[in-house]
C-alpha cells in the first residue's frame, strides 16, 4: 500500500526543488541553448539560401549566355546563308557574263575567220590569175618558139575567127 | 577552474545535507542479532523499492554501512522536530525519540509514527465503513529521506550538466564538443520530434523549458536508478510521489493554457449525437473524467514501469540467495543465470529509461497541443 500512496514529504520537496530547477534551467540553460540553436539554424538556412540564390544566379547567367550563344549562332547562320547567296549570285552572274563574253568572242572570231578566209581566197585568186598568166605566157612562148607550131596556132585562130 | 568550483559546491551541498550530525558515514549498527534470520524476499525487494529514512549502502554480517538522514516531522502535539534518523538507533535497537518512532514492520514499515511517553503507539479512533478503527497517529513527515537526497543529487547533476553546456553556447558559435554533442541531439529531438509536431510550430516555444526539464529529469533519474551504488540506486522515478508531482505539473499547465475550443470539446463535443449529451450528459461526463485520467495514467505508467524494472532486477538477485539458502553450490550456479538475466534486464532498462522519459514528454506535449488547438 505504501508503494502506491504518495507521501507528503516527497511531494513537498519534489515540488519545491523541481520548480526551482525548472526556473534555473529555463533561465540559465534552455534559453541560451535554444536561442543559439535557433540562431545557428537560421545562419545555416541563410547560408543555404544564399548558396541557392548564387546557384540560381549562375543558372540565370548560364541561360543568358546560352541565349546569347544561340542568338549568335542564328546570326552567324544567317550571315553565312546570306554570304552563300551572295556568292552564288556573283558566281551565277559571272557565269552568265562569261558566257555572253565567250559568245561575243566566238562571234568575233567567226567574223574574223570569215573575213580572213575571204581575204585569203581573194589573195589566192589574184596569185592564181598571175600564175596562170605566167604559165600561159610560158606555154605560149614555148609554143611559139617553133615555126610549125606558130603556123598551127595561127591557123587555128584564123579558123576560129572564120567561124565567128 | 569551472569544474573545481562546481565540485566545491557539490561538496558544500553534500555537507549541508548530511553534515548536521557528527556521525556522518560508516555507522556501525547491530540490529537484533538475527544472523539466521529467514530470508524474506518480498520485504527485501520492498525495502529497496520504497523510500527510507537512511541510505543503506551495505551490510556485512553485523556491520551495516548506512548514511543517516535528517528527519523533519511536524506533530500536532509537539510541533516541528528536526533530528537525524540515527537517533532512532540506540545500542543496536530501534528506540523512540522525542515522541516519534520508526516502524520496523507491518503496513507502516519505514514510516515514522507518534508514540506516548511510555513508548506505546499513539492512536486515534476513526470511523471507517461504519466501524470504529484504531489508527496510528502519523506526523507530517517532511524528512530528507533517501529519495529526497537522490532527488537533490540528481537535480544538482542536471543543473551542473545543462548550465555548463549552456555556457558553451554563449559567445561565438563553435562546433559542438564533448557532452554537448551527446545532449544536443536530445534537445533537438524533443524540439523537432516531440514539441513541434504535438503542439504546433507556432506555440511550442512556450512549453519547451518544461518539456526539456521533465524529459531530462525522468531520463537522468531513470539512469541513476540503474546505478546500484550510492548516490544512485534510489527508485526515484519509480516513486509515486515523484510521478504524481510531474503529472500534476502537466495537468496544471494543460488546464491553465486550455483555450475555449478545448472546453467546448469537453462539455459540448461537436459531431456527437445530442442524446449523448442531453438529458444525461454522458459524453461530457466521460470527457471530464478523461481530463483527470490523462495525468493519472501519466503518473501510474512511469511509476509502474520503473518500479517493475527494479523489482525484476532485485528478483533475479534474490534468486541467488533463495537457492543459496538451500545449498551454497546451487546459489553460485544460479548466480550465473541471474547475472546474465540481470545484465539483459539492465540493458532493457536503459531502453526503458529513455522510452519512459520520451513517452511522458510526448504525452505531456500532446496534452498541451490538445489544450491549445485552434478551432478547425
Burial B42-57 (b: 16+ CB within 10 A, else e): eeebbebbbbbbbbbe
Burial B282-307 (b: 16+ CB within 10 A, else e): ebbeebeeebeebbeebbbbbbbbbb
Report how far residue B230's alpha carbon sits from residue B210's, in angstroms, rounded to the nearest whole number: 28
Average pLDDT over residues A121-143: 87
- If you average pLDDT over every residue of chain A, what do you get? 89
Of A2, A9, A39, the CB nearest to B145: A9
Of residues B78 and B213, the one with the higher pLDDT is B213
Of A2, A13, A21, the CB nearest to B158: A21
Of B109, B159, B241, the CB nearest to A7: B241
State which residue of chain B sits closest to A33, comparing Cα positions: B166
Whether the CB of A44 is below 8 Å from some CB of chain B: the reply is no
Q: Tell me what pLDDT residue B1 has.
A: 43
Report how far residue B12's alpha carbon sits from residue A159's, in angstroms, rounded to the nearest whole number: 189
State which residue of chain B sits closest to A28, comparing Cα positions: B163
- pTM for the model stands at 0.73
Secondary structure letter of residue B72 according to DSSP: E
Q: Tell me what pLDDT residue B17 has.
A: 42
Q: Tell me what pLDDT residue B25 has.
A: 36
Report how far residue B294's alpha carbon sits from residue B255's, in angstroms, rounded to the nearest whole number: 12
Of B50, B166, B210, the CB nearest to A33: B166
Of B72, B165, B241, the CB nearest to A33: B165
Q: Across the strands, what pairs with B204?
A: none
State which residue of chain A sits closest to B217, comparing Cα positions: A18
- State whether A26 and B213 contact (CB < 8 Å): yes
Of the pLDDT bands very low, low, confident and very high (cuts 50, 70, 90), residue B320 is confident
Beta strand pairing call for B100-102 and B79-84: unpaired
Q: How many CB pairs under 8 A join A and B?
A: 120
pLDDT at B326 over 90: no
CB contacts, 8 Å: B142 with chain A: 8-9, 12-13
Highest mean pLDDT among A49-53, B79-83, B369-373: A49-53
Report yes or no: B152 and B145 within 8 Å, Cβ to Cβ: no
pLDDT at B264 over 90: no
Highest mean pLDDT among A78-87, B34-43, B83-92, B312-321: A78-87
pLDDT at B6 over 80: no
Of residues B338 and B91, the one with the higher pLDDT is B338
pLDDT at A7 over 80: yes
Residue A122 falls within a domain, yes or no? Answer: yes
Q: Tell me what pLDDT residue A46 has.
A: 94
Neighbours of B330 (CB within 10 A): 14
- If you average pLDDT over every residue of chain B, what do you get? 82
Q: Tell me what pLDDT residue B334 has.
A: 87
Q: Domain limits of chain B?
A: 70-143, 146-372
Angle of helix B146-169 versus helix B208-226 axis, rounded to 10 = 130
Range of the structural domain that residue A148 is part of: 8-163
List, for residues A87-131, the tens digit of each pLDDT value: 999 999 999 999 999 999 999 999 999 999 999 999 999 988 999
List, for residues B330-348, the tens digit of each pLDDT value: 888 888 988 998 899 889 9
Residue A118 falls within a domain, yes or no? Answer: yes
Q: Tell me what pLDDT residue A163 has.
A: 61
Q: Tell me what pLDDT residue A152 has.
A: 79
Q: Tell me what pLDDT residue B261 has.
A: 86
Of residues B176 and A72, the one with the higher pLDDT is A72
Residue A140 falls within a domain, yes or no? Answer: yes
Residue A1 falls within a domain, yes or no? Answer: no
pLDDT at B12 over 70: no
Q: Tell me what pLDDT residue B82 has.
A: 86
Which range among A137-141, B13-17, B255-259 shows the weakest confidence by mean pLDDT? B13-17
Whether the CB of B191 is below 8 Å from some CB of chain A: the reply is yes
ipTM (interface predicted TM)? 0.82
Which range among B52-66, B285-299, B335-349 shows the weakest confidence by mean pLDDT? B52-66
Sequence-distant (≥ 6) Cβ neighbours of residue B255 within 8 angstroms: B291, B371
Could you tell me what percent of chain A has a pLDDT over 90? 63
Residue A2 falls within a domain, yes or no? Answer: no
Report yes or no: B364 and B211 within 8 Å, Cβ to Cβ: yes
List, for residues B182-204, the tens digit of each pLDDT value: 888 999 999 999 999 999 888 89
pLDDT at B16 over 70: no
Report how far residue B111's alpha carbon sits from residue B99's, in angstroms, rounded to the nearest whole number: 14
Q: Tell me what pLDDT residue B35 has.
A: 41
Radius of gyration of chain B (CA): 25
Q: How far is B213 from chain A (nearest CA, A)?
A: 6
Count of domains observed in chain A: 1
CB contacts, 8 Å: A39 with chain B: 173
DSSP-based three-state secondary structure for B128:
strand
Which residue carries 541513476 as its cell?
B224
List, for residues B214-231, the tens digit of each pLDDT value: 999 999 999 998 888 777
Whether the CB of A94 is below 8 Å from some CB of chain B: the reply is no
Amino acid at each position: 500500500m505504501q508503494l502506491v500512496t504518495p507521501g507528503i514529504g516527497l511531494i513537498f520537496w519534489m515540488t519545491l526543488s523541481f520548480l526551482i530547477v525548472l526556473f534555473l534551467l529555463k533561465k540559465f540553460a534552455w534559453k541560451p541553448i535554444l536561442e543559439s540553436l535557433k540562431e545557428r539554424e537560421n545562419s545555416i538556412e541563410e547560408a543555404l539560401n544564399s548558396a541557392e540564390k548564387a546557384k540560381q544566379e549562375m543558372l540565370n547567367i548560364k541561360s543568358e549566355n546560352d541565349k546569347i550563344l544561340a542568338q549568335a549562332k542564328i546570326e552567324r547562320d544567317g550571315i553565312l546563308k546570306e554570304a552563300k547567296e551572295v556568292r552564288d549570285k556573283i558566281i551565277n552572274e559571272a557565269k552568265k557574263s562569261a558566257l555572253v563574253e565567250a559568245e561575243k568572242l566566238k562571234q568575233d572570231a567567226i567574223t574574223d575567220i570569215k573575213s580572213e578566209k575571204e581575204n585569203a581566197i581573194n589573195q589566192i585568186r589574184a596569185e592564181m590569175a598571175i600564175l596562170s598568166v605566167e604559165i600561159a605566157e610560158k606555154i605560149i612562148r614555148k609554143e611559139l618558139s617553133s615555126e610549125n607550131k606558130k603556123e598551127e596556132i595561127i591557123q587555128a585562130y584564123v579558123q576560129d575567127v572564120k567561124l565567128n | 577552474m569551472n569544474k573545481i568550483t562546481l565540485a566545491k559546491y557539490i561538496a558544500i551541498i553534500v555537507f549541508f545535507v548530511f553534515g548536521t550530525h557528527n556521525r556522518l558515514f560508516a555507522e556501525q549498527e547491530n540490529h537484533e542479532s538475527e544472523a539466521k534470520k529467514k530470508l524474506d524476499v518480498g520485504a527485501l525487494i520492498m525495502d529497496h523499492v520504497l523510500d527510507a529514512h537512511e541510505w543503506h549502502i551495505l551490510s556485512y554480517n553485523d556491520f551495516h554501512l548506512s548514511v543517516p538522514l535528517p528527519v523533519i516531522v511536524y506533530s500536532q502535539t509537539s510541533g516541528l522536530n528536526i533530528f537525524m534518523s540515527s537517533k532512532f538507533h540506540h545500542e543496536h535497537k530501534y528506540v523512540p525519540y522525542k515522541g516519534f518512532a520508526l516502524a520496523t514492520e507491518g503496513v507502516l514499515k519505514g514510516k515514522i509514527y507518534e508514540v506516548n511517553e511510555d513508548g506505546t503507539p499513539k492512536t486515534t479512533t476513526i470511523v471507517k465503513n461504519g466501524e470504529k478503527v484504531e489508527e496510528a497517529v502519523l506526523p507530517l513527515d517532511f524528512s530528507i529521506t533517501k529519495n529526497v537526497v537522490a532527488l537533490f543529487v540528481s537535480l544538482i547533476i542536471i543543473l551542473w550538466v545543462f548550465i555548463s553546456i549552456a555556457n558553451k553556447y554563449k559567445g561565438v558559435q563553435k562546433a559542438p564538443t564533448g557532452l554537448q554533442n551527446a545532449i544536443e541531439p536530445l534537445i533537438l529531438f524533443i524540439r523537432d520530434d516531440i514539441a513541434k509536431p504535438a503542439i504546433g510550430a507556432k506555440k511550442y516555444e512556450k512549453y519547451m523549458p518544461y518539456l526539456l526539464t521533465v524529459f531530462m529529469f525522468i531520463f537522468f533519474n531513470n539512469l541513476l536508478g540503474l546505478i546500484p551504488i550510492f548516490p544512485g540506486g534510489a527508485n526515484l522515478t519509480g516513486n509515486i510521489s515523484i510521478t504524481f508531482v510531474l503529472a500534476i505539473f502537466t495537468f496544471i499547465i494543460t488546464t491553465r493554457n486550455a483555450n475555449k475550443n478545448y472546453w467546448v470539446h469537453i462539455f459540448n463535443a461537436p459531431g456527437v449525437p445530442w442524446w449523448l449529451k442531453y438529458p444525461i450528459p454522458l459524453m461530457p461526463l466521460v470527457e471530464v473524467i478523461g481530463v483527470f485520467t490523462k495525468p493519472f495514467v501519466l503518473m501510474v505508467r512511469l511509476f509502474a514501469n520503473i518500479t517493475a524494472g527494479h523489482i525484476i532486477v532485485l528478483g533475479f538477485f534474490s534468486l541467488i540467495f533463495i537457492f543459496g539458502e538451500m545449498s551454497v553450490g546451487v546459489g553460485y550456479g544460479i548466480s550465473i543465470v541471474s547475472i546474465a538475466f540481470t545484465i539483459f534486464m539492465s540493458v532493457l532498462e536503459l531502453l526503458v529509461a529513455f522510452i519512459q522519459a520520451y513517452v511522458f514528454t510526448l504525452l505531456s506535449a500532446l496534452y498541451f497541443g490538445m489544450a491549445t488547438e485552434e478551432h478547425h
